[in-house]
């Protein structure tokens, strides 16, 4: 019987990622890429603030599909400047990133341990908009590490954006929670 090569589905939601995720590869990205440089994506005109956790999770799936086109993937998911989206993640991804459930929804390895939330209303030249920042402590069973993840979103009239990044990794849960509490107070 001839092997059927699956057509690449650019509707990248949590089900798609969970089905294809190479967890060891994702953990390696997290271990060495706290402040990963994405300069190689300049030609794709990718919005840097969006890279972080979501794109690393997608890239961790790619060894299970050969022949993917990262340029098309970034376009379809709204990660580049000319993308299909409005500059924001699809709603399901956005909600799970904001509430800290993105990583737990793609792998049982991850568990949300602490969630803190901050909302600010802003006003620029009579335009009112909100900014959301949520802070997460997410534990990983595989490497017994706690990741500090930060989601930031704004519905600024001309610069709406969302980002989700790993800020730091800490081994002890109490230290991780204390760090997140301090971060929330500073920002």
Per-residue pLDDT of 146-162, as tens digits, reads: 999 998 888 776 676 77
Q: What is the pTM of this model?
A: 0.76
Q: Which long-range contacts link 44-49 to residues 24+ away (Cβ below 8 Å)?
A: 44/70, 44/71, 44/74, 44/80, 45/80, 45/81, 45/82, 46/74, 46/79, 46/80, 46/81, 47/79, 47/80, 47/81, 47/87, 47/161, 49/161, 49/163
Does residue 72 lie in a domain region?
yes
Q: Domain limits at 80?
A: 14-186
Does residue 8 lie in a domain region?
no
Q: Which tens digits make up the pLDDT trace of 117-142?
A: 998 887 777 777 788 899 999 999 99
Give the pLDDT band (50/70/90) at residue 116. Answer: very high
Does residue 164 lie in a domain region?
yes
How much is the average pLDDT of 96-110? Answer: 94
pLDDT of res. 72: 61
- Identify whether the C-beta of residue 69 lies closer than 8 Å to the C-beta of residue 59: no
Tokens matching residue 80: 């580049």
64 compared with 22, residue with greater pLDDT? 22
Q: Which tens digits make up the pLDDT trace of 3-53?
A: 444 555 556 678 878 888 899 988 888 877 544 444 444 444 555 445 568
pLDDT of res. 50: 55
SS3 141: coil
How much is the average pLDDT of 65-92? Answer: 57
* CA 46 from centre of chain: 14
Q: How many whole angstroms separate alpha carbon 1 and alpha carbon 157?
A: 55
Does residue 1 lie in a domain region?
no
From the number of C-beta atoms within 10 Å of its C-beta (0-12, 13-18, 19+), residue 5 rates as exposed
Q: How many whole angstroms separate alpha carbon 123 and alpha carbon 181?
A: 26
Does residue 106 lie in a domain region?
yes
Does residue 151 lie in a domain region?
yes
Total domains present in the chain: 1
Does residue 148 lie in a domain region?
yes
């Amino acid at each position: 019987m001839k092997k059927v090569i699956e057509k690449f589905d650019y509707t990248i939601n949590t089900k798609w990622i969970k089905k294809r995720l190479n967890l060891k590869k994702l953990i390696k990205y997290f271990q060495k890429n706290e402040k990963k440089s994405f300069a190689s994506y300049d030609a794709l005109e990718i919005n840097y603030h969006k890279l972080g956790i979501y794109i690393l999770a997608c890239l961790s799936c790619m060894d299970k599909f050969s022949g993917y086109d990262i340029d098309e993937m970034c376009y379809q998911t709204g990660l580049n400047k000319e993308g299909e989206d409005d500059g924001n993640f699809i709603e399901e991804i956005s909600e799970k990133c904001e509430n800290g459930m993105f990583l737990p929804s793609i792998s049982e390895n991850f568990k949300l341990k602490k969630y803190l939330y901050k909302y600010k209303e802003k006003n620029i030249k009579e335009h009112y908009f909100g900014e959301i920042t949520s802070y997460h402590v997410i534990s990983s069973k595989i490497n017994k590490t706690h990741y500090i993840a930060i989601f930031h979103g704004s519905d600024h009239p001309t610069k709406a954006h969302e980002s989700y990044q790993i800020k730091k990794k800490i081994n002890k849960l109490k230290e991780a929670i204390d760090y997140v509490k301090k971060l929330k107070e500073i920002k």
